[in-house]
Amino acid sequence: MPFPGRPRSVLRRRSARTSPGASSPNGGTSSLVLPAISQGQRRCGAGGYGAQNGHNRQRSICAVLSAEIHHRDYRGVGLTGGSEESSYEWPLVGRGDELAALQAALDRLASSRPGPGRRTVPAQPWVLEIVGEPGIGKTRLLAELCARAEGHDRLVLAGRATEFEREVPFGSVIEALDDHLSALADDTVARLGSPRLELLASVFPALSGHAAEVPQRMPETERYHLHRAVRGLLEVLAEPAGTVLVLDDVHWSDAGSIELLAHLLRHPPRARLLMVVAYRPAQVAARVAVALEEGAREGSVLRVEVGPLALEAVTELLGRELSRTWCARLHSATGGNPFYLEALVRAGRVSPLDLSAGELPRRVNAALRRELEALPPTRRLVAQAAAVAGDPFDPDLVARTAGLDLVEALEALDELLERDLIRPGDAEWRFQFRHPLLRQAAYQGAGKSWRLMAHGRAAAALERLSAPVAVRAHHVARSAAVGDEKAIGLLLEAAEATLSSAPSTAAAWLQAVLRLLPPDVAPARRLEILNKTAHALGVAGQLRESTSILHEVLRELPAHPSEPRAEAAAFCAMLERLLGNHAEARRLLLAELREVSAEDSVQAAGLKLEAAFGGLVSGQFVADRKLMLEALDTARRHGDRCLEAAACGLLAFASHMAAAVPEALRWCDAAAELYDRLPDAELAGRLDAAVWVSWSEGFLDRYDEALRHTERGLTLARATGQNYVLTYLLMGRTLALRWLGRIAEADENAEDAVDAAMLSPSDEMRVIALTLRCWLSMLLGEPDAAVRYGEQAVSFAGPESGWWRPLAQVFLAAARYETGSGDFAADFLRAAGGSDASLIDPLSRPLFYEFLTRYELGRGRVDAAADWARRAEETGHPDLPYRVGLGHLAQAHALLAAGRPQAAAERAEAAVAAFSPPRSQRGQNRLEAGRARVLWARVLRVSGDHRGALEQLDRAADLLAASGARGWQAEVLREQRRLGRRVPSPGEGGPVRLTRREREIAELVAQGLSSREIAEALVVSTRTVTTHLSRIYAKLGVSSRTALAAALARTQGKGQPEGT
Full DSSP string of 8-69: THHHHHHHHHS-TTPBPTTS-B-TTSGGGS-GGGS-SSGGG-S----TTTTS-HHHHHHHHG
Q: Using one digit for the tens of pLDDT, what is the confidence trace for 300-314?
A: 899 999 999 998 888
- Say what the pLDDT of residue 730 is: 92
Higher pLDDT, 220 or 847: 847
3-state secondary structure string across 168-226: CCCHHHHHHHHHHHHCCCHHHHHCCCHHHHHHHHCCCHHHCCCCCCCCCCCCHHHCHHH
Going by pLDDT thresholds of 50, 70 and 90, the confidence category of residue 1049 is low
How far is the C-alpha of 375 from the C-alpha of 1009, rounded, in Å? Answer: 57
Q: Using one digit for the tens of pLDDT, what is the confidence trace for 508-549?
A: 999 999 999 999 999 889 999 999 999 888 877 788 888 999
Number of Cβ within a 10 Å radius of residue 100? 11
- Say what the pLDDT of residue 533 is: 93
Report the b/e string of 579-593 with b at 16+ CB within 10 A: bbbbeebbebbeebb
- Say what the pLDDT of residue 578 is: 77
**Can you spell out the DSSP letters for 681-748?**
HHHGGGTHHHHHHHHHHHHTT-HHHHHHHHHHHHHHHHHHT-GGGHHHHHHHHHHHHHHTT-HHHHHH
Contacts of 844 (CB under 8 A, 6+ apart): 807
- Say what the pLDDT of residue 992 is: 55
3-state secondary structure of 781: coil
Going by pLDDT thresholds of 50, 70 and 90, the confidence category of residue 167 is confident
pLDDT above 80 for 758: yes
CATH of domain 114-308: 3.40.50.300
Give me the numbers of helices (H) and strands (E) for the chain, helices first please. 51, 7
- Say what the pLDDT of residue 599 is: 63
As a whole number, mean pLDDT of residues 334-362 equals: 64
As a whole number, mean pLDDT of residues 901-906 equals: 94
- Say what the pLDDT of residue 374 is: 86
pLDDT above 60 for 1057: no
Average pLDDT, the chain: 80
As a whole number, mean pLDDT of residues 724-742 equals: 89
- Name the most confidently modeled range: 357-361, 596-600, 612-616, 665-669: 665-669
Stretch among 121-130, 336-345, 449-458, 916-925 having the lowest mean pLDDT: 916-925
Stretch among 184-188, 666-670, 793-797 having the lowest mean pLDDT: 184-188
Number of Cβ within a 10 Å radius of residue 228? 21
pTM here is 0.71
For residue 504, the surrounding DSSP H or E stretch is helix 503-516
pLDDT above 80 for 573: yes
Higher pLDDT, 989 or 564: 564
As a whole number, mean pLDDT of residues 30-38 equals: 27
pLDDT above 80 for 627: yes
As a whole number, mean pLDDT of residues 356-361 equals: 52
- Say what the pLDDT of residue 1050 is: 63
Higher pLDDT, 1027 or 619: 1027
How far is the C-alpha of 77 from the C-alpha of 481, rounded, in Å? Answer: 47
How far is the C-alpha of 508 from the C-alpha of 488, rounded, in Å? Answer: 13
Does the domain spanning 988-1060 belong to CATH 3.30.950.10? Answer: no
Report the b/e string of 53-62 with b at 16+ CB within 10 A: bbebbeeebb
As a whole number, mean pLDDT of residues 801-816 equals: 87
Contacts of 173 (CB under 8 A, 6+ apart): 159, 203, 230, 247, 257, 260
Going by pLDDT thresholds of 50, 70 and 90, the confidence category of residue 809 is very high
Number of Cβ within a 10 Å radius of residue 951? 15
pLDDT above 70 for 1052: no
Report the b/e string of 373-387 with b at 16+ CB within 10 A: eebeeebbbbbbbbb
pLDDT above 60 for 582: yes
How far is the C-alpha of 209 from the C-alpha of 546, rounded, in Å? Answer: 37
- Name the most confidently modeled range: 122-126, 222-226, 342-346, 933-937: 933-937
Half-sphere CA count of 1011, side-chain side, radius 13 A? 22
How far is the C-alpha of 290 from the C-alpha of 280, rounded, in Å? Answer: 15
Half-sphere CA count of 311, side-chain side, radius 13 A? 11
Stretch among 13-27, 96-110, 114-128, 745-759 having the lowest mean pLDDT: 13-27
> Domain ranges in the chain?
114-308, 640-736, 745-840, 843-983, 988-1060
Stretch among 161-170, 523-532, 601-610, 987-996 having the lowest mean pLDDT: 987-996
For residue 150, the surrounding DSSP H or E stretch is helix 138-151
pLDDT above 60 for 694: yes
- Name the most confidently modeled range: 46-55, 246-255, 581-590: 246-255
Going by pLDDT thresholds of 50, 70 and 90, the confidence category of residue 382 is very high
- Homologous superfamily (CATH) for 843-983: Tetratricopeptide repeat domain (1.25.40.10)
pLDDT above 80 for 618: no
- Say what the pLDDT of residue 218 is: 61
- Say what the pLDDT of residue 53 is: 32
Contacts of 21 (CB under 8 A, 6+ apart): 29, 36
